[in-house]
Amino acid sequence: MESSVKYIAVGSLEGCKIIASYASEKSFKDSVKKEVDNLLSSGHEGEWATRSPSPHGVWFVQSDSIGLVYLALVKSGYSDRFAAGLLSDLKDLFVSQGPEHLKNSPSESYTRIMADDMRKLYTKYNDTTSLDKVTAVNQKVQEVKALATEGINQVMRNVESAEVLSAKTNELEGNARMFKNDAKRLERIMWCRKMKITCILVLVVVGVLLYIIVPIIISASD
């Protein structure tokens, strides 16, 4: 059965060399050496990525900002998503070794050191059935996380709505108390005005009566 992943490697644009590589058969490394040399001497600078055909399948190549290159040769029809994941994991694996140090390392100097880790990556991405299952599980996890997040957001919105409603209720209660106090104050003002008017009317009536009665009393006395 044809392998899904045929070859993985980490190289350096400086000196166009492979620092570490892995293939199921050592002889396969020799058969793709010329293709690897062409990819490393492509003249690209900075961060870049490419996908190019090969007699053995398809090359996926990605470079970082310091000139390290991550390569994967996979069979035709291999998922671009899986290939991108393979290169990303390969990069993470070697970044921990110190990129600047790797760039200046001799050719194939890390092949033996990183053999076990690279074999695990090779095995993981060669089993596309398991990758599909893992992807499906991860997708389910993401869906559950999305639902949980939405639930939390809904609860927070409900809490905010309750807080807004409580604030409005408190505001209405405050307005009601203020209205009640204003009504009482207005009632007292109106009562005072009524009493003033009553007193004035009484004084006027008394004054008029005195004005009429006093002259009569004086005339009667005479």
pLDDT given for residue 160 in this prediction: 75
List, in order, residues 6 or more apart from 15 with CB less than 8 Å away.
Answer: 107
Helix (H) or strand (E) holding 1: none
Q: What residue ranges define each of the domains in the chain, with the CATH number in brackets?
A: 5-126 (3.30.450.50)
Q: Quick check: 133 pLDDT over 60?
A: no
pLDDT-derived band at 209, boundaries 50, 70, 90: confident
Q: What is the mean pLDDT of residues 96-123?
A: 88
pLDDT tens per residue, range 47-61: 888 899 999 999 999
Query: According to the 3-state scheme, what is the secondary structure of 91-141?
Result: HHHHHCCCHHHHHCCCCCCCCCCCHHHHHHHHHHHHCHHHHHHHHHHHHHH
Write the single-letter amino acid at 98: G
125 neighbors 4 (Cβ within 8 angstroms): yes
| Nearest Cα to Cα of residue 75 among 53, 93, 91 | 53
State what percent of residues in the chain have pLDDT above 70. Answer: 92
Residue-averaged pLDDT of the chain: 85
pLDDT given for residue 43 in this prediction: 67
List the single range of 13-22, 130-139, 146-155, 177-186 with lowest mean pLDDT: 130-139
pLDDT-derived band at 136, boundaries 50, 70, 90: very low
Write the single-letter amino acid at 155: V
pLDDT-derived band at 156, boundaries 50, 70, 90: confident
Q: What is the mean pLDDT of residues 129-143?
A: 60
List the single range of 100-109, 133-142, 149-158, 186-195 with lowest mean pLDDT: 133-142
